[in-house]
Structure 1
Amino acid sequence: MTAPRAVKALITLDLDTVAPRFDLTADVWIGRIEPDGSVREAKTLVLSSASADELCKLALTEKIDVVVCGAVEDKYYEYLQWKDVRVLDSVVGNLDAVIRALARGALEPGAVLAPLPGGE
């Protein structure tokens, strides 16, 4: 198993959780996640409209390493993979839990992440 490395991630959002559908997402979180769990260059963007094409364009423009989302159509999944963007789809969880799992290198497609006790 290789050691975790810093990754630039784009996470589709519905409030503070992973959005259930890639093509209906208008809010995204983008940031560089370090192996120690620290986050650099974090920003949340609100797109003018929900568009899978625009999300793909944003991922390439921002030089994203990994996209985390809920359901995604095969054509967008295949396109991003072809462009060397790793896609972790069918993920359920809040933003903080996703960031922690990415930092550990432990996030996989289909993951269901529970928040930490205490309401995080």
Structure 2
Amino acid sequence: MPVSKKEVSPCPIDAMLSVIDGRWKGTILWRLLDGPMRTNELRRSIPQITERMLIRHLQELVQDGILERHEEKQVPPCVRYSISSYGMTMVPVLEAICVWGRRHLETSHPSKRERLPSIT
């Protein structure tokens, strides 16, 4: 039986998937591997994402301790996001998911082979 996002599943795989579940979370994490970025920089680097969805995913990742939100006290306000040290523990997992996903896309969608980005 599926577990809602508000419930905590005792299954470790469900726990991990509940953190990275979301259409854009993987892409956000991949972009932030290069270093901290402002909200607008992230938005420009992922043209298909809406601002509302970006903010929602960023808030969820901060709440889960995967990202850190750094607010600089200036006018206009400047907010940067970076992967936390706890979030960096996910990098090997994300790399493994990327390898499997690439293999899956090559198998099931050979026409997309040239457009696949690399996580590393």
TM-score, structure 2 normalization: 0.28
The structure with the largest strand share of the pair is: 1
> Highest relative contact order (Cα 8 Å, sep 6+), 1 or 2?
1
TM-score, structure 1 normalization: 0.28
